[in-house]
Chains A and B, each alone.
Chain A
């Protein structure tokens, strides 16, 4: 039996005096997708960051693809990718330069060609040589998705991917998510667009004040 995509065992996360996540346990099998819902401040972003290893639980254990997220983070990182509110871009570099940088760090075989193809796929080819500082919020999101696609992770974490997108963009994003899933990627999707989210995922986790609750 292959490892679970995500396995949270009684995890809690504290920032200063506040518990962003409290005593949370859940699991997700590989190849399946999870819808993460909850109000702003309920802990969705924190949870996604923890799964991505950008942060670590204060207590409890989180396993991703069978690896302990804290102790085995180096083994884990190549297989997980996060698209979140913080875009990880360098504002003063162009879209192409940002992607090329990631490509080279990832050891991608033909970085220039890969970057070109991804920018075209995400509809950013025309602005490939503009600084990210000039990008709209939607374009930044698309660039972040391009980076995720380049990494081809086993677990894709998407934090409000539909925000800032127009209906055509939302449709394209749905197609992207489905194509990721077709490749066997486990997707954890946090979104307020619950109907869309339900059609794209098989399981749901609803958070309130950092705890798992049944959605009302």
Chain B
């Protein structure tokens, strides 16, 4: 039997629903921003006041900060679904699990993207980087990077939300998988902060796109098995 609405329409409803909830609980987003800002601050304290060194490594600190924040935001994204078993409720409506996956990945990615934008001025303040060289490419890198965190992150947070030791399970599962993403996103970001004489940025962008496509496809295929008992 064909569902009443299309896959994309259902995904859009899921995404809007997540935005609605984020807006209504925006105090939490604010707390997340302060957490990430504090993380960046702690990096600068741990490394010491050498501005040259901080500037040289700022790309790494930014992405580490985003990575840590993502664990919190991904965890929360599925906590709201497991509270009252709302995710099961969606599946029974019926809503196609694949639509839920698309909606949640985009929701998580958009939250992290907003977070990354807010962190940019903090990065400038703490590490004295230049954002104005290729700002459009920087935004592209940020977007591709957070999408790459969200794709496997959505699958793993769906699993962890129902597992024991869930706080530790998500980063334990997610971080090894994100090693190449971290490498690519940080390297690409560095090449937007600094001059790129050998034009390596293009290669890193391609790697990011490949990573995103692969994990979106794998997640798309695997998520339905997790969203419902089989």
Contact = CB atoms under 8 A, between A and B. Distances in A.
B94 A74 contact: yes
A88 B20 contact: no
Interface string A96-108: 0100011011110
B92 A93 contact: no
28 contacts: A53-B92, A54-B92, A54-B228, A56-B229, A74-B3, A74-B94, A75-B1, A78-B94, A82-B92, A86-B84, A86-B85, A86-B89, A88-B84, A88-B88, A88-B89, A89-B86, A90-B21, A90-B86, A92-B25, A92-B80, A93-B20, A101-B17, A104-B13, A105-B90, A105-B93, A105-B95, A106-B93, A107-B5
A131 interface: yes
B88 A93 contact: no
B10 A105 contact: yes
Nearest to A106: B4
Contact of B92 (A52, A89, A97): A52
Interface string A124-145: 0000000100000000000000
Interface string B8-29: 0010010001001100110000
B83 interface: yes
Contacts of B50: none
B128 to A, nearest CB: 39
A89 B1 contact: no
Interface of B: 1, 3-5, 10, 13, 17, 20-21, 24-25, 80, 83-86, 88-95, 228-230
Interface of A: 52-56, 74-75, 77-78, 80-82, 86-93, 97, 101-102, 104-107, 131, 151
Contacts of B85: 54, 86, 88
A80 B91 CA distance: 12
A197 to B, nearest CB: 24
Given A93-B24, A105-B4, A151-B93, 20 more contacts: A54-B85, A55-B229, A74-B94, A77-B93, A77-B94, A86-B88, A88-B84, A88-B85, A90-B21, A90-B84, A91-B84, A92-B24, A92-B80, A93-B17, A101-B13, A101-B17, A104-B13, A105-B5, A107-B5, A131-B24
A77 B92 contact: yes
Given A54-B92, A106-B93, A87 B24 contact: no
B201 to A, nearest CB: 40
7 tightest A-B CB contacts, nearest first? A88-B89, A107-B4, A86-B85, A77-B94, A75-B1, A105-B93, A92-B21
Contacts, number: 76
Nearest to B80: A90
Given A56-B229, A78-B1, A91 B80 contact: yes
A7 to B, nearest CB: 19
Contacts of B230: 56
A56 B230 CA distance: 7
A109 B220 CA distance: 30
B10 A87 contact: no
Given A77-B94, A105-B5, A105-B10, A91 B229 contact: no
A82 B83 CA distance: 17
A106 to B, nearest CB: 6
A56 B91 CA distance: 14
